[in-house]
A = this chain, B = another copy of it.
Amino acid sequence: MGTTIFDIGEEGRSALRLPALDVPEKNLTELIPAEFIRKEDAKLPQVSQIEVVRHYTKLSRMNYGVDNGIYPLGSCTMKYNPRINEDTARLPGFASAHPLQGEELSQGALRLMYELGEYLCAIGGMDAITLQPAAGAHGELTGMLLIKKHFERTKGLHKRTKILLPDSAHGTNPASAAICGFEVVHIPSDSRGLVDLEALQAHLDDSVTGIMLTNPNTLGLFETDILEITRLVHDVGGLVYYDGANLNAIVGRARPGDMGVDIVHYNLHKTFSTPHGGGGPGAGPVAVVKKLEPYLPVPRIVKDGKKYSFDYERPHSIGKIHSFYGNFGVLVRAYTYIRMLGDAGLKAVSTNAVLNANYLRARLSKVYKAPYDRICMHEFVLTTKGMSEELRTLDVAKRLIDYGVHPSSIYFPLIVPEVMMIEPTETVSKEELDQFADALIKVAQEMKENPQILKEAPHVVPVYGASVRRLDDVRAAKEPILRG
């Protein structure tokens, strides 16, 4: 372990023969002034093709993905990534299309984007959409820019400076708002784990641009007062931004648009099954109500008769937020998924996502503390607080690894101490849920009987499991070694 590709190979090896230069070769300095020419080659690895294949095959085996077992990261919706998505995204007409080849030669891609936009609007109950954002946070930023544009256009920007955020919000929410210069005001959660309505009201005035709301929230709870919240915010002229990261809980049965929200982002890499790729790419389309449509990024994709085209003539648009049209390849995957599921499938997604979460909650809340012990949506939180003097949730997570399953999200949301945030998704079987629950229950027992084994976890185990023992994060922060 620890071996990088730089530790492999020998001077002079290469893994790819280049096509022959079939034009007369000129002296380099005839073409480029000598002072612009690189003096020393970049120190890249020198390896043959088999060494590349072996090295990255080996690295892959030191990873754990959805394909390896349950991966119940809360707020991440680590569902199965159908292989058909990969194949459709790699069709040459998609993978080898150039973004500037012209509308006429891109009708298939434009139609796909147009229709995907329509589907997402229908799923969200919204009026118009941009597919440009490359991830959820990028969508949030787009949303903040839309809010800013709205108040600029309606001449409210001078006094409207604040954005309200429940304290359970994901870190990207405040970070996105901050880029636009909005002042972030945190709204506490109440004992139900929901937005504290009184606290909200206390902050509502005409200095507010709006609220960013995650629903179901990051505790896995549906904001039951959402109609009241959106009304209150609208009453002071504010806009409601809906973080749709948790759409998996309600897809096919309830729509943000019917809750009074103005802007919503979707995470295609969560709800719509596109693979997470070790951290990305994703896609974070943003849908809006009619009145915000003029501000959406350019180009928009429009349809005229049977012809699709890019519309750049949008004087009030916030402009572009991606070099081209967003993560098109991710859009192809989501399109494929939505078409395969249809309405019945989409509804089955939320049904089973919520069922699975509640089943786990029912089994685990007997052993761990569920701070909000009630029917949850697609995910729920537990805490180890009070279960041990010496052990933390981190130790529980690391010990879970020894049982061949991936731990849940931990230490998020910030408002629950020693939290585990568990989202099984609809694509795990009951047997896998039981395997995960059994492991977690076993670990709870070990907390009492054998705390040392948790502290030393994970242990290195065959086939699946850790490839190293517990790693020293502190050292990595103190003396960062960030390149070889």
Contact = CB atoms under 8 A, between A and B. Distances in A.
Interface of A: 1, 8-10, 13, 17, 48-51, 53-54, 57-58, 61-62, 66-69, 80, 82-83, 340, 427-431, 460-467
9 closest Cβ pairs, A-B complex = A50-B80, A57-B67, A460-B462, A462-B462, A50-B427, A463-B467, A53-B67, A61-B463, A54-B67
* Binding site secondary structure of chain A: loop
A69 B54 contact: yes
A57 B68 contact: yes
A415 to B, nearest CB: 32
**Number of identical monomers bound together in the oligomeric complex:** 2
Contacts of A429: 9-10, 13, 48, 50-51
Contacts of A82: 49
A18 to B, nearest CB: 13
23 contacts: A1-B463, A10-B429, A17-B340, A48-B427, A49-B80, A50-B80, A50-B427, A50-B428, A50-B429, A51-B429, A53-B67, A53-B83, A54-B67, A58-B68, A58-B463, A61-B61, A61-B463, A61-B464, A461-B462, A462-B462, A462-B463, A462-B465, A462-B467
A234 B50 CA distance: 44
Contacts of A340: 17
Contacts of A10: 429-431
Contacts of A13: 429
Contacts of A48: 427, 429
Contacts of A62: 463
A340 B19 CA distance: 11
Given A50-B429, A462-B466, 10 more contacts: A10-B430, A13-B429, A50-B427, A51-B429, A53-B83, A54-B68, A58-B464, A61-B61, A61-B463, A463-B467
A51 B428 CA distance: 8
A68 B430 CA distance: 34
